[in-house]
Amino acid sequence: MQHITRNIILGILCLQFLILANSFTLHSQGNQIPQNWYQLDSYKDGYNGISLDNAYAKLKDKKSKTIVVAVLDSGVDAEHEDLASVMWVNADEIKGNGKDDDHNGYIDDIHGWNFIGGKNGNISSDSYEVTRLYSKLKYKYSSADPEKLTKAQKKEYELFLECKEQVEVRREAAQANLDAIQFSEKFVKDGIEMLSVKLGDKPLTMQNVELIDEGDSKSLSAGINVAKELLEANPELQTIQDLKKAIYDEYDEAKKQYGNEMNFAFNPDLNQRGEIVGDKYEDLNDRNYGNSDVEGPDASHGTHVAGLIAAIRSNGKGIDGIADNVRIMSVRCVPDGDERDKDVANAIRYAVDNGASIINMSFGKGFSPEKSIVDEAVKYAASKDVLLVHAAGNSGDNNDKQNNFPNKKYHKKKFLSSNKAKNWLEVGASTPFEKNKSIAAFSNYGKKNVDVFSPGVLIYSTVPNNEYKNLQGTSMASPIAAGVAALLRSYYPSLTAKQVKKIIIKSVVTSNDMVDLPKSDSQVKLSDISTSGGVINASKAIELASKTKGKKRLPKSSVSSSDSYPVKVLPKT
């Protein structure tokens, strides 16, 4: 494999300038679009939201039942001001006594469980599944003679070659990106410092920046160009200090990303699982491992997801979650890297066994070597009438052609049984805009394997330490859909998981407009890239639910006039 040349590195450097500008363009758009756009109504408000206020208007004076939604993710800040009172609490467990009071196999699981931690701490970053497969197979096939392999071995050998190529190419690309970032960082920072000197006491404006004579200094020229790009994208940058912070933060994030790819994601020699988690990793039936730290070292992603589903409504803080009578169970199983099949399967089972009605899964990967145990967990959830909501992915791919795991298609079909999970809702991402720009450019799609689209661009929600921010991705689209599902199961508790899925699919807002196909110059209809052919709509879903006879038999206590199911609370100490 040829070494990356200096010209390519300089090309990547130019790309980094564009990335910085694009990042600030996103923030700038976020300043123009209402923070709650995804809850608004397209006809009334002009944004392609889910019409949540109309949904609640239709639910006025109707009783609801408290349900549990499990967030399988990186962790959740259970003390966040907009989440603390809606966290699920295991009333049968006494906090901090180091005992398994409810005998469920998990000690001190007050708000959920962490399957990627142990007595020695938590896993923050981990390798990608393709790297783990490469590491596992290289000792077996690195010196193999293909001519001497059996048919079964040749198939595994081909997988080894595929994984080897992906890991080596992507690891070299990560190193090149890291080199480029480090090279450009000093270059740009020097330029910004020179720009600061040239500006003196003058305010940071486009006009003042354009008046600066860059002379022969390439650093100053770079600083001026970056400043102009960012000022154009985000006019709210007021001072040189604002500009410096914005640029330095972006560089820190980029260095962290590419550094993690080198040290963790594409590192075939990484071996931290045994030291930290300490489970019997090869034993797929091993379920009682982990720790009770449901926040973990970086709960930004999971906290954002949880807020979209259930942030306290009408409290004058932050945001309003989609559903108003749910409890969030945090089940930590997703590191910065790829989640492991064993952890996902155990997380699903934990959520089901502890009362979750809906499970949100905003994660995915391209390989799933132990898919069978995830499938069995999905079937277990189906047997307990639990709905699984999953993000379709952010690579702009067709999920009918590309692998994205976990998914609703079972690895092995049993005689006279369906080959797909009927309690599974797959969610792509939509935008605030209509017509051809209504689908996110990054969103995965698929006429057979993506059910609906849901808002996933410029999504404002909770992050740790009582803060809030915009994120984007199908990771955000999925919990918004899960929130609508929670609303349905809360106000219409006799609906089954299958019925809720069907209602969400049938109540989408459809359009005959052609939309831009991700990663393509082509345009297609929404019905060509999803099962439903539309974007979810809470108001229409509530209307359809009100006309649907539930198939779930409820105990008498559940159909009483009480406002909610009994909520588990911590015992007084």
User: Would you list the DSSP string of 230-278?
Assistant: HHHH-TT--SHHHHHHHHHHHHHHHHHHHHHIIIIIT-TT---HHHHT-
| Predicted pLDDT at 32 | 80
Report the distance separating Cα 55 and Cα 543, nearest Å.
8
| Predicted pLDDT at 30 | 52
For residue range 312-364, list pLDDT tens digits in order: 999 999 999 999 999 999 999 999 999 999 999 999 999 999 999 999 999 99
Paired tokens of 132? 């783990």
- What pTM was computed for the model? 0.89
In the numeric block, the tokens 């797959």 are attached to 426
Domain boundaries, the chain: 6-11+130-265, 34-126+281-551
For residue range 109-152, list pLDDT tens digits in order: 999 999 999 999 999 999 999 999 999 999 999 999 999 999 99
For residue range 292-314, list pLDDT tens digits in order: 999 999 999 999 999 999 999 99
Q: Which pLDDT band, with edges at 50, 70 and 90, does 233 fall under?
A: confident
Residue 536 pLDDT > 70, yes or no?
A: yes
| Predicted pLDDT at 31 | 54
| Predicted pLDDT at 406 | 98
User: Would you list the DSSP string of 123-176?
Assistant: --B---HHHHHHHHHHHHHTT--GGG--HHHHHHHHHHHHHHHHHHHHHHHHHH
Residue 553 pLDDT > 80, yes or no?
A: no
Q: Class assignment of domain 34-126+281-551?
A: alpha beta
Instruction: Give, as one character, the DSSP assignment of residue 338.
Output: P
**399-404 average pLDDT score:** 97
Higher pLDDT, 324 or 234: 324
